[in-house]
Chains A and B, each alone.
Chain A
Amino acid sequence: ETGVTQSPTHLIKTRGQQVTLRCSSQSGHNTVSWYQQALGQGPQFIFQYYREEENGRGNFPPRFSGLQFPNYSSELNVNALELDDSALYLCASRHSAGGSEQYFGPGTRLTVT
């Protein structure tokens, strides 16, 4: 158990809609990253938050946005959903004073129809 939880487990949305995915990190883990994992692929970095500010972003458009809250929870928001957004979305956390390893949650499976 990593202590990282995500909700919901599964979600089905229609193209053009908006979605919010949630993550709760371990206490003290003040760095959270979000990844997108398409079927048969490795996770791809979306962005990272540290102390409630975005401090790194991968090759994803601005319709992917996030928030981090003081209670170690965070959100990933995706606007104007496209079919290619169907994937497993993973949240990973670490303590900034710890090692570089990230601890992943179980993921949210998003299907866009």
Chain B
Amino acid sequence: EDQVTQSPEALRLQEGESSSLNCSYTVSGLRGLFWYRQDPGKGPEFLFTLYSAGEEKEKERLKATLTKKESFLHITAPKPEDSATYLCAVKSPGANNLFFGTGTRLTVIP
């Protein structure tokens, strides 16, 4: 059975204080690991897809990396507008859906 565990549950950072969010997964034959950002009361916003170990993708202050067991979302010099919940999801072979973790709630303090 697919499992996705995100840590920490919540993270408070000072503006400019870089950190990383973790997504550990158990899935046979990963067909994609996805990162989304979700603001309160809104739908998830797509950030990245990673397909194979060693792959990295960047967008502004965010960088996502993937190993065979986990993915990290690195946030460099965060700003208050980066405050949101970050969701990780996996897709397994033959599945039509994404399987989500419970998210990390990030708060960036000015």
State whether B46 touches A42 (Cβ < 8 A).
no
Residues in chain B within 8 A of chain A (CB atoms)? 4, 31-32, 34, 36, 41-46, 49, 87, 89, 91, 95-103
Q: How far is the CB of A97 from chain B (nearest CB, A)?
A: 15
Interface contact A104-B44, CB-CB below 8 Å: yes
Are A42 and B43 in touch, CB under 8 angstroms? Answer: no
- The answer on a CB contact under 8 Å between A45 and B99 is yes
- Do the beta carbons of A101 and B49 come within 8 Å of each other? yes
A29 on interface, CB distance cutoff 8 Å:
no
Chain B residues, Cβ within 8 Å of A45:
97-99
A66 close to chain B: CB less than 8 A? no
Chain A's interface size range is: 20 to 34
Which A residues lie at the B interface, using CB under 8 A?
Answer: 2, 4, 6, 31, 33, 40-45, 48, 50, 55-56, 58, 88, 90, 92, 99-107, 109
Contact A102 B46 (CB under 8 A): yes
Q: Which residue of A lies closest to B100 (CB)?
A: A42
Residues of B with C-beta under 8 A to A106:
42-43
* B95 CB, nearest partner CB in chain A, Å: 7
Contact present for A90 and B43 (CB under 8 Å): yes
B99 to chain A: which residues have CB within 8 Å? 45
Q: Is the CB of B97 within 8 A of A101?
A: no
Closest to B36 in A: A104
In this complex, the member of A33, A41, A43, A45 whose beta carbon has the largest number of chain B beta carbons within 10 angstroms is A43
Determine the chain A residues whose CB is within 8 A of the CB of B87 once the complex forms: 42-43
Residues of B within 8 A of A99 (CB): 32, 49
Contact of A48 among B42, B45, B46, B97 (CB under 8 A): B97
CA distance A65 to B98 in the complex (A): 19
